[in-house]
Amino acid sequence: MTKLTFPFKVDIDFATGHVTAPAKVLTRRLSDLQGLFMDSAAYEQMLSRENPVLYDVYEIQVPEEAGHLASCTTVIYPGKVGKEYFFTKGHFHTIEETAEIYTCLRGEGYLLMMTRDGRSRAIKMTPGVSAYIPPYWAHRTLNCGGEPFVFYGVWPADAGHDYAAILDKGFKQRVMEVDGKPAVTE
């Protein structure tokens, strides 16, 4: 760290995930997740009609340097592409030795994790559940409920995002609606 940073606070609205300044909003729409959903025909059909927002990320701004902690809320809206619930792109951290903590504030979802050598884990997320993503585990979240799924994540600010492997090979697990209920499949 080079420069002294001063303490600050933000207010988080648990219902909407909105964060007061200093926060940056990143919006991901259906068109930003090309090639990631299993049912590509359902994806193309949906995209020909609409381009909904799948999730918003409200990132609390800190220097992207070792020593700082970055954090954000993510709000995944309810919906499906075919039978598969709306999810985030998913990523490894560029500095793979960095962990992350996700705490659910609202709604119902899953945190999916996998390693490059083929291990996988899924954690069900409901309000109050705080999940630990250890170093080396890629992570993706999804909303399997009928309301916005909101969680708060904290990670080393210099960790970075590596989306390449997920865009190339996808995620090991998927969560689909089967008989009206979410089912985790490999």
CB of 9 to ligand S6P, least distance (A): 19
Between strands 53-60 and 23-29, the pairing is antiparallel
Choose which of 155, 172, 175, 182 interacts with ligand S6P (CB under 6 A).
155
Q: Does 152 bind ligand S6P (CB under 6 A)?
A: no
**Could you count the other beta carbons within 10 Å of the beta carbon of residue 181?**
8
**159, burial (CB in 10 Å: exposed 0-12, middle 13-18, buried 19+):** buried
Identify the residue among 30, 72, 113, 123 touching ligand S6P (CB under 6 A): 72
Rounded to a whole number of angstroms, the minimum distance from the CB of residue 180 to ligand S6P is 27
What secondary structure does DSSP assign to 83-103, as a single string? TEEPB---BEESSTT--EEEE
Among 17, 36, 86, 88, binds ligand S6P (CB under 6 A): 88
Instruction: Give the residue, chosen from 58, 81, 84, 91, that forms a contact with ligand S6P under the rule CB under 6 A.
Output: 91
Three-class SS of residue 33?
helix
Binding partner of 17, given Zn ion, ligand S6P, none, CB within 5-8 angstroms per partner class? none
